[in-house]
Structures are given as C-alpha cells and as structure tokens.
A and B are shown apart, each in its own frame.
Chain A
Amino acid sequence: MVSKNTAKVFVAFAALLSTLVFAQAQSNKPTSLKIGITTFLSGPASVFGVPAKAAAELWIDEFNAAGGIDGVKLAPVFIDEGLGGDKFLSEYRRVAQEPGDKVMLSAISSGNCNTVVPVAEDLKVLDIMWDCGTEKILEERRYKYAIRTQANAVTEMVAAVVYLLKVKPDFKTIAVVNQDYAWGRDSWEIFRNTLLAFKPDTKVLAELFPKFGAVDFSTEITRLQALKPDVILSTGWGGDLDTFVRQASQRGLMKTSQLVLPLAESSLERLGPSLPDGVIIGARGDHYFLHPETKNEPKHKGFVEKFRAKTNSYPIYPVYHMVAALEGLVAGYNAAIKKNPGQWPTTDQVAEAMHGLELRGLTRPVKIREDGQGLEDQLLGVTKKTPEYPFPVFDKMMLVPAELVTTPVGQKSQDWVKTLKPELLNDPRLKMLGEGK
C-alpha cells in the first residue's frame, strides 16, 4: 500500500523529471559552440592546412566580436591531420565526444574524411567536409550528419576537361604526371574517362605516377620531352607541383606541350615567374583573390587584405573553403533557428536545415543538395604575367557552372562520366568572361 505522502512525493518527482526532460529537448542555448577543425599542421599538406587555420582564426575572431550565432560564440579546436591514422581518429573522437554543443569540420585529406565521417554519423555529430575531394563518400551512402560545403573531385576534373576542350579543342595525345596516392590516381581516372567520353580518339602516351613527395622529376621530364604529348596533365599540389613546374619550365617543357594544372592556383604566388604564360590552371572551386565577380566586394576585398596582413600571403583555395564551411555552418544554424524561433536548435535540426541550404563564402554561392553535396562553380583560366603582381594571374577566365559538371544525385560518378556527350561543350553557359560584350 502506498501512503498519501509517498504518492505526493512521486508525483512531485515525476513533474520535476518531466521539466528536466522537456528542458533537454528544448536544448538550452550554450555559452559557446565548439568547432572541431581538422587540418594539416604538419607534413607536406600543411601548405594548405596552415593558411586554412589562419583563415579560420581570422574569420572566427571577427564573427565572435560581432556577436556570434544569436549570442553564442564559436570556440575552435584544431586537430592536426598530420598525426595520421589511429592517432588522428582518437583525437577526432575526443573532441567529437566532449559534452556540449559541437560541430566538426573535416578534413583536407580524403582518406581522413573517409575515416571520420562514418564515426560522426554514429556519434550523431554534424560533420562538415570543408576541403576533401573524394566524391565516393556521399555516393556510397546517405548520411544524415555529413555535409560538403564545396565541390568534389568529379566537378573539378570534368570542369577542367571542359575548359581544356574549349581552349584547345584540337589535340590528339595526352600524358599525365600525378602523385602516387589516392587523389593522384582517382583524379586521373575521372579526367581520363571524361576526356575519352568527349573525345574518344585521344591517345594516352604516358601515365607517370612519381611518388608522393618526389623531389626530382628530371627523368619524367626527359621522357615527356621524348614523347612530346600535346597535353600534359598534373593534379599535383604543394612542393611536388612546385618542383615539377619549376623543373619543367627550366627545361622548356611548356614550349612543346600544353600543361593543365587544376590545382595550380594554390602555388601561383610561390612559383612566381617560374610559371610561364599559357598554362591552364584551376582552383578547386571558384576561389581566387581576383575573382572576376567578387574581387571588389567589400567583404571579399577586406578579407584578402586582412589575410595578407596576418600571413603575408594571398589567400589560396583552402582558405576560401574554410570560410565557406564556416559561413555554411552559421547559415545552417540561422536557418534552424528561424524554423523554431527563439530556441537554440539541436544538431538534428541544424543537419536537416543544412540540406538544401544555399551558402555564400567569399565568392559565388554554393547550393547544398539533398545528398549533402555542395554545388560549387569552377574557375579555370590560363596563366598570364602582369606588371601588378610578381606572379602570374588568371587570364581567359571561365566559370563552369557546377550543375553542368556534377554527377546527379543517386548516380555513381564512374558510370556517369562515361555518359557525357560532346554536346555539353556547346552549352551557352560555358563562355569565357569578357566574351560577347
């Protein structure tokens, strides 16, 4: 038998409990939102990771000074991708499993994205892929908590092929010099299949995969000079790309072959005059401090100036990727707050709000599709020296619209690129900037 008093206590306890649960569901506004950012702070890829970290700090400081998200400040925690493998994963888990509100931003390396995105899904933590390029991750599985605020390798490579065929339609032979690791191999696979779909008679003269971090390309260059391909592709980056371009330029390889370097925007300032005119270059997106549409916008221009003051160099694409991811994150929170006015959103609500969102970094807007993939337009151009800068700038620029060159939702890229038709090249949206004025 239960006495009256005991019953009262039970009721009171239940009421108390229900308010607690209710409060939990309402998700009280935290004092700060933790942002776990994975980036390379050591090793060769720190050429991307260190500027991206500087960009994150610069952007977050300003954002917090302006009040944060609805008064909630962002608190970044940086995780070094250079730790590699298990150590990196346990660092990621450590941050992702801390109590309180948090969002993870992963990663520069596609391998690292592959590692942590499923983990974040299990932990029900929002993971924004801010820089990694692998298209497979969002094609193989539907994720609830994974968003990519930038293009993937397919968009980037197909856009590069399209631009090449627009600028130099009549070539017969091609060779490739890519770094011997996942990105070097995968990007060539996409590039080759796309090229062969558009131009089936192209002959591949050589496929060279010098090791990642190679310090000497002399033999490769000699071989290329002997083969004389019309076009040479390299999706290399960092020190590898610098060395290859420098050695190729010193030995006049650009005189006999058209070079296509889809990641060269990130090396322009370092290479300086070593990079001759007429080389096709890309920027993994439409990122460029002299972006034809946004270079004079106060937001973009002001950021470039502040970034230069902080780091003494011009921003490169990972910097733009970082800003886009942070802007996207904020846009996601704001959209979720709008749906439930006056309440701080849960991770699920933010993740939901981010699908279908349109965000704007420093350049053109990026649309997030229902599969979490961002549609980011691609800027390509040809190098040209100008007196204003001690390094080449983009000339003959073209902004390739992402929806033209991205695998549709639900399809597999490796099959889709093979179905591309040459008619795509006649699309009216593909035009050189300044054309038809």
Chain B
Amino acid sequence: MNVDILLLALVDGLSYAGLLFLVALGLTLIFGVMGILNVAHGALYACGGYTAATFISWATGLGLASPPLLVAGLFLAALLVGLVLGFVLEVGLLRQVQDKDPILQLLVTFGAFLILEDVQSLIWGSAPYSASEVVTQLGTIELFGITYTTYQLLLIPLIALLVYALLQYFLRHTRIGKQIIAVTHNAEVATALGIHSSRIRLVTFVVAAMLGALGGALAAPTTSIVPGVGTDMIVLSFSVVATAGLGQITGALIAAVLIGLARSLAVYTVPELEVVVPYIIMVIVLLIRPYGLFTVAQARKI
C-alpha cells in the first residue's frame, strides 16, 4: 500500500510540477537578467489562460477539434500574450524604472499586476473560463487501476522538459543566449564589451512573459481560469524560485518537482497541510541555505 501511494503521488506530483516549473522559469529568468522580482508575472499567467480558453472555444466552434491543432492553439495564445504584454510591460514600464530602487521596481510590477487584473475582468468578466476540449480529445490512460488523462500524465511533463531543454540550448549555444548569460553575470561589463544590454533585457522579458503565459495556457484545459487565479500562481512560483535560489534554471526544475511531489504526498497523508507544504519547504531550505538550494557561492564584488 505504501509503495502504491508513493507511485500515485509521484504521477500526480509530476504533472503539477510541470506547470509550476514553466511559470517559475519565467520568473527566475527575469530576476537573473534584470534583478527584478516581477509580480506582474501572475497576470501573464492569467491572461495566457484566458486567451487560450478563448482560442480553444473559437476553434471548437469552427469545428477544428483535432488534438494537434488544439495544442497549437494553446501555444499560439501564449506566444501572442507574451509578445504583446511582454513588450508593453518592458518598454512602457520597466525600462523607465531601470535604475531606480529595487523596492520601487517591485511596486511598479505589483501595480501593473493589479491593473492587468482589472483589464482581465473588463475583457472576460467574472465567469470561470476553461478549455477542457483539449483534454477530452487526447483521451485517458489507465495506470495502476487509476484513470489518468493523457494531457496531464504525458503532455504537460513532456512540454515542461522540452521547454527546459530548449532554453538550456538557447542560453548555451546561441549568440543571444550567451549574451543573456553575460548580462546576468555583470550587466556593466557586458555593456562595456559591446553587448546591447537593453535589447537583451527586452528579449529576456518577452521570452519570460511567454513562459508565464504558457503556464496559464497549459493550465486552462484542466482548470477554471477565474479572477484572482494569477495571485495564487505568483505566490507559489515565488516559493519555487526562492527554494531553488533566484536566477537558477535547473534549480527551479528540481524545486518544482520537489514541491509538486511534496504537495501530492501531503494530500495522501496529511491533507490539512497541502496548502502550506510548499512554504514549509521554502522556509526549511532558506533557514539552512539563505540564498536557496542551488545558488553557487558568488564571486565577491568589491
């Protein structure tokens, strides 16, 4: 029985971790490059979810219900939202407060988050939205006598891993990726060496915005996108990022899996603790390693 529980919790935890990782990835990327804790990331998640739900209901309305098309619809929604909102937020807002106090930058992103929440309720109202057609089309899989949806069991973890691999390749083996890493290490020196750092910041922010929106878009088929959905996600993904260490990409992956598994184990053993488990983990980690699990010792800046 105990091994069974462990296995079941493992499967549930991984799917959850997949979504959590995508959102946390965007958050940690922005922090790495820009040094900003972007609270508006939660709004990107919500907007991605709403837009995806709208796209899917259009597509099914037009009779375009084949699984690859629907999944493509989710990605399209994320790309669009990330591109538009990412661009507007970076150029219109963050660039203006680039050299200001980090607390001020935090407040500015928080303000943007609140404004975007109201924009969402202007556009989509207060009713819950969903895109369940995608999950229905992809069918179910039997595992240990339990029925799982293919979407949650395979597709989400697969997409999360794929995004992780692509991002690693992009950062290590492309020109822009290498420039991003350089700016992460030291923006001033990178600029002195001829890297157009404001362009790098824009690219990073838009990519990160797409990741946040992708998290929302991929959540839309299984959950209900309601007002306030972004708040929960930003808090939870912050706990992932803080556990991993700000700016750590592989760390975010491991921390997301850790938190996902701990959460589903909690539902089996002590359901009362489900909500606080991520934060308990975060607190324990931060008590032992104040900069997160995976932060390497920093070279001293004089």
The reply on B198 being an interface residue by CB < 8 A is no
Which residue of B9, B136, B223 is within 8 Å of A219 (Cβ)?
B9
**0/1 per residue, A28-59, Cβ < 8 Å to B?**
00000000000001111011011000000000
Known: A215-B232, A225-B146, A246-B222. Contact between A238 and B227, CB under 8 A? no
Most buried by B among A49, A211, A218, A223: A218
Which residue of A208, A225, A250, A252 is within 8 Å of B267 (Cβ)?
A208
**0/1 per residue, A194-228, Cβ < 8 Å to B?**
00000000000001111101011011101101100
Is the pair A50, B125 in contact by a Cβ cutoff of 8 Å? yes
The reply on A156 being an interface residue by CB < 8 A is no
Is the pair B271, A209 in contact by a Cβ cutoff of 8 Å? yes
Residue of B nearest to A44 (CB): B226
Residue of B nearest to A40 (CB): B126
Is the pair A238, B128 in contact by a Cβ cutoff of 8 Å? yes
Size of the A side of the interface (Cβ < 8 Å), in residues, is: 38
Most buried by A among B8, B15, B146: B146
Is the pair B267, A223 in contact by a Cβ cutoff of 8 Å? yes
Is the pair B223, A43 in contact by a Cβ cutoff of 8 Å? no
Is the pair B126, A46 in contact by a Cβ cutoff of 8 Å? yes
**0/1 per residue, B7-36, Cβ < 8 Å to A?**
011011101100000000000000000000
The reply on A239 being an interface residue by CB < 8 A is yes
Known: A211-B274, A211-B275. Contact between A250 and B149, CB under 8 A? yes
- Which residues 131-148 of B sit at the A interface, judged by CB distance below 8 A? 132, 135-136, 140, 145-148
Is the pair A242, B136 in contact by a Cβ cutoff of 8 Å? no
Is the pair B227, A222 in contact by a Cβ cutoff of 8 Å? no
Most buried by B among A226, A239, A246, A253: A239
The reply on A115 being an interface residue by CB < 8 A is no
- Expressed in whole angstroms, the Cα–Cα distance for A308 and B13 within the complex equals 42
- Expressed in whole angstroms, the Cα–Cα distance for A42 and B111 within the complex equals 17
- 5 cross-chain pairs, A with B, having the tightest CB-CB distances, nearest first: A46-B126, A239-B226, A239-B224, A239-B128, A219-B267
Question: In the complex, how many residue pairs between chain A and chain B have their CB atoms under 8 Å apart?
Answer: 116
Task: Determine the chain B residues whose CB is within 8 A of the CB of A243 once the complex forms.
Answer: 128, 130, 222-224
- Expressed in whole angstroms, the Cα–Cα distance for A210 and B140 within the complex equals 24
- Expressed in whole angstroms, the Cα–Cα distance for A209 and B145 within the complex equals 24
Known: A44-B226, A215-B232, A239-B224. Contact between A210 and B12, CB under 8 A? no
The reply on A168 being an interface residue by CB < 8 A is no
Task: Determine the chain B residues whose CB is within 8 A of the CB of A310 once the complex forms.
Answer: none
Chain B interface residues (CB < 8 Å from chain A)? 4, 8-9, 11-13, 15-16, 121, 125-128, 130, 132, 135-136, 140, 145-149, 152, 219, 222-229, 232-233, 263-264, 267-268, 271-272, 274-275
- Expressed in whole angstroms, the Cα–Cα distance for A247 and B126 within the complex equals 21
A/B interface sample: 22 pairs, CB < 8 A:
A42-B121, A44-B226, A44-B228, A208-B271, A209-B271, A213-B232, A215-B229, A215-B233, A216-B222, A218-B222, A219-B264, A222-B8, A225-B147, A238-B128, A239-B224, A239-B226, A239-B229, A243-B223, A247-B223, A252-B147, A270-B130, A313-B127
Which residue of A43, A225, A226, A313 is within 8 Å of B227 (Cβ)?
A43
Task: Determine the chain A residues whose CB is within 8 A of the CB of B13 once the complex forms.
Answer: 219
Residue of A nearest to B151 (CB): A250
Task: Determine the chain B residues whose CB is within 8 A of the CB of A238 once the complex forms.
Answer: 128, 224, 226
Residue of A nearest to B226 (CB): A239
Task: Determine the chain B residues whose CB is within 8 A of the CB of A215 once the complex forms.
Answer: 219, 223-224, 229, 232-233
Which residue of A49, A208, A213, A242 is within 8 Å of B130 (Cβ)?
A242
Other A-B pairs beyond A50-B126, A243-B130, A243-B222, 6, CB < 8 Å: A46-B126, A218-B152, A219-B9, A225-B147, A243-B128, A251-B140
Is the pair A247, B222 in contact by a Cβ cutoff of 8 Å? yes
- Expressed in whole angstroms, the Cα–Cα distance for A47 and B124 within the complex equals 12
- Expressed in whole angstroms, the Cα–Cα distance for A158 and B136 within the complex equals 35
Task: Determine the chain A residues whose CB is within 8 A of the CB of B127 once the complex forms.
Answer: 47, 270, 313
The reply on A274 being an interface residue by CB < 8 A is yes
- Which residues 383-424 of A sit at the B interface, judged by CB distance below 8 A? none
- Expressed in whole angstroms, the Cα–Cα distance for A209 and B270 within the complex equals 11
- Expressed in whole angstroms, the Cα–Cα distance for A41 and B130 within the complex equals 21
- Expressed in whole angstroms, the Cα–Cα distance for A238 and B129 within the complex equals 11
- Expressed in whole angstroms, the Cα–Cα distance for A47 and B130 within the complex equals 14
Residue of B nearest to A224 (CB): B146
Task: Determine the chain B residues whose CB is within 8 A of the CB of A44 once the complex forms.
Answer: 226-228
Task: Determine the chain B residues whose CB is within 8 A of the CB of A250 once the complex forms.
Answer: 132, 135-136, 140, 149, 222
**0/1 per residue, A270-314, Cβ < 8 Å to B?**
100010000000000000000000000000000000000000010
Residue of A nearest to B139 (CB): A250
Is the pair A43, B148 in contact by a Cβ cutoff of 8 Å? no
Query: How far is the CB of A154 from the nearest CB of chain B, in Å?
Result: 26
Residue of A nearest to B264 (CB): A219
Is the pair B128, A270 in contact by a Cβ cutoff of 8 Å? yes
Most buried by A among B11, B13, B132, B136: B132
Is the pair A219, B224 in contact by a Cβ cutoff of 8 Å? no
Is the pair B136, A47 in contact by a Cβ cutoff of 8 Å? no
